[in-house]
Amino acid sequence: MPDTNLRNLTLDEAVKAAEAEHTRANPQSATRFEEACRAMPGGNTRTVLHYSPFPLTIARAEGSRLEDIDGHRYTDYLGEYTAGLYGHSHPVIMKAIREALEGGISFGAPNRWEAALAQLMCERFPSLDLVRFTNSGTESNMMAVVSARAATGREKVMVFNGGYHGGVLSFAGGGSPINAPFAFVLATYNDLEGTRTLIEQNATALAAVLIEPMMGGGGGIAARPEFLRMLRETTEKHGIVLIFDEVMTSRLSAGGLQARLGIVPDLTTFGKYLGGGMSFGAFGGREDLLARFDPRRPDAWSHAGTFNNNVLTMAAGIAGLTQLFTPEAAERLNASGDLLRQRLNEAGRKAGVPLQCSGIGSIMAIHWQSRAVERPSDTADTPAGARTLFHLGMLQRGFYLARRGFISLSLVLDERDHERFVAAVEDYLETTRPVLQATLS
Ligand SMILES: Cc1ncc(COP(=O)(O)O)c(C=O)c1O
Strand ordering across the sheet containing 356-360: 356-360, 363-367, 406-408
Ligand 1 pocket check: which of 81, 138, 140 to mutate, most ligand atoms within 8 Å of Cβ? 138
**212 Cβ closer than 6 Å to some ligand 1 atom:** yes
**169 Cβ closer than 6 Å to some ligand 1 atom:** no
How many other CB atoms sit within 10 Å of the CB of residue 242?
Answer: 25
The ligand 1 atom at the shortest distance from the C-alpha of residue 139 is 11
Tell me the one-letter amino acid at 28.
Q
What is the Å distance from ligand 1's center to 254 Cα? 19
**217 Cβ closer than 6 Å to some ligand 1 atom:** yes
> Tens digits of per-residue pLDDT, 261-303?
999 999 999 999 999 999 999 999 999 999 999 999 999 999 9
- Angle among Cα 277, 279, 285 to the nearest 5 degrees reads 100
Write the DSSP string, 82-149. Answer: GTTTT-BS-HHHHHHHHHHHHT-S--SS--SSHHHHHHHHHHH-TT-SEEEEESSHHHHHHHHHHHHH
Residues of the chain with pLDDT under 70: 1-7
Return the closest-CA partner of residue 394 out of 30, 72, 28, 7: 72
What is the Å distance from ligand 1's center to 165 Cα? 5
What is the Å distance from ligand 1's center to 166 Cα? 5
What is the Å distance from ligand 1's center to 336 Cα? 24
According to the model, what pLDDT value does residue 226 have? 98
- Whole-model pTM: value is 0.98
- Is residue 189 part of the annotated active site? The answer reads no
**275 Cβ closer than 6 Å to some ligand 1 atom:** no
- Is residue 16 part of the annotated active site? The answer reads no
Residue with CA at minimum distance from ligand 1 atom 3: 165
According to the model, what pLDDT value does residue 301 have? 98
**136 Cβ closer than 6 Å to some ligand 1 atom:** yes
Q: How far apart are alpha carbons 28 and 38 in whole angstroms?
A: 16
- Is residue 164 part of the annotated active site? The answer reads yes
Write the DSSP string, 135-199. Answer: SSHHHHHHHHHHHHHHHHT--EEEEETT-BSSTTSB-GGG--TTS---EEEEE-TT-HHHHHHHH
For the chain, the maximum distance between any two Cα atoms, rounded to a whole number of angstroms, is: 73
Inter-axis angle of helices 415-439 and 384-396, nearest 10: 140
CA atoms within 13 A on the CB side of 375: 17
**232 Cβ closer than 6 Å to some ligand 1 atom:** no
Q: How many helices (H) and strands (E) does the chain have?
A: 13, 16
In eight-state DSSP terms, residue 402 is -
Catalytic, out of 3, 68, 245, 378:
245
What is the Å distance from ligand 1's center to 308 Cα? 16
